[in-house]
Amino acid sequence: MCDECASGLSVSRSRRGLLKAGGMLALAACLPGVASLPAMAQAPAAAPVSGEEALKRLVEGNARYAANRPEQRDFSAGRAARVTTQAPFASILSCADSRVAPELAFDRGPGELFVVRVAGNFVNEDGLASLEYGAEVLGSQLILVLGHSNCGAVSATIKVVETKAQLPGHLPSLIDAIRPAVLAAQKQGAADLLKAATIANVRQNVERLKSATPILSQRAADNRLKVVGGVYDLATGKVELV
């Protein structure tokens, strides 16, 4: 490569580096939990929790919740400390259903879970950006995609697929996101289509997160991120990993 080309490439990279640094600085100034550019580049104040340990905490917490033996907490404890920073040990992509409350289902307190919620617990652009923030900035090394029994969003999608029903407003975009899971469950010939589609929807979104470039896929490849799925049973409160 000629000296002029090399020089031009160096300048181009330098400019890109400055632009990237400027963008990260702007993010650090705007988003909670990120006080400065160094904080963006480094791990949170608390020691990071591995994906395996984070999943273990969730499983144990759910067992306490399902048994109606949650840990007693003073929710005012640590409130002042959480004003300046956060270090959630796990991120949850959950359905927006009012009967599903991840912090309760896993018996966790404020500041412990970074939760993204949307009807049908599927990955969209905004949710992906939030989960990238949870992993890259806050240091969460686990993402759990949490579906649940009798999901209205999945049930509505089944109805649309089977009857060609027309839904109003922006609801068709929700249906389109869940439709692949329903079609996959139909192809399997599942006896309980709702249950099978719910599980398929969770699994498909786990795979989407694992392969989401550039942040999550790289962290997963480097074993710095674990992505799993589960289904919450409304009747028992238990979460079954799928």
Query: How does pLDDT run across 110-129, given as a tens digit for each residue?
Result: 999 999 999 999 999 999 99
Are 218 and 135 contacting, i.e. CB atoms less than 8 angstroms apart? no
Given this model, what pLDDT does residue 48 score? 85
**CA-wise closest residue to 152 among 170, 174, 169, 168:** 174
CATH number of 47-241: 3.40.1050.10
Beta bridge partners of 228: 144
Residue with tokens 């992993």: 135
Mean pLDDT within 173-181: 98
Name the more confident of 75 and 83.
Answer: 83
Q: CA 76: distance to chain centroid?
A: 26
Percent over 90 (pLDDT), the chain: 76
Given this model, what pLDDT does residue 45 score? 55
Are 113 and 62 contacting, i.e. CB atoms less than 8 angstroms apart? no
Q: Is 66 exposed, middle or buried (0-12, 13-18, 19+ CB in 10 A)?
A: middle
Mean pLDDT within 217-230: 98
What's the N-to-C CA distance of the chain in angstroms?
52
Omega into 214 within 30° of 0, i.e. cis? yes
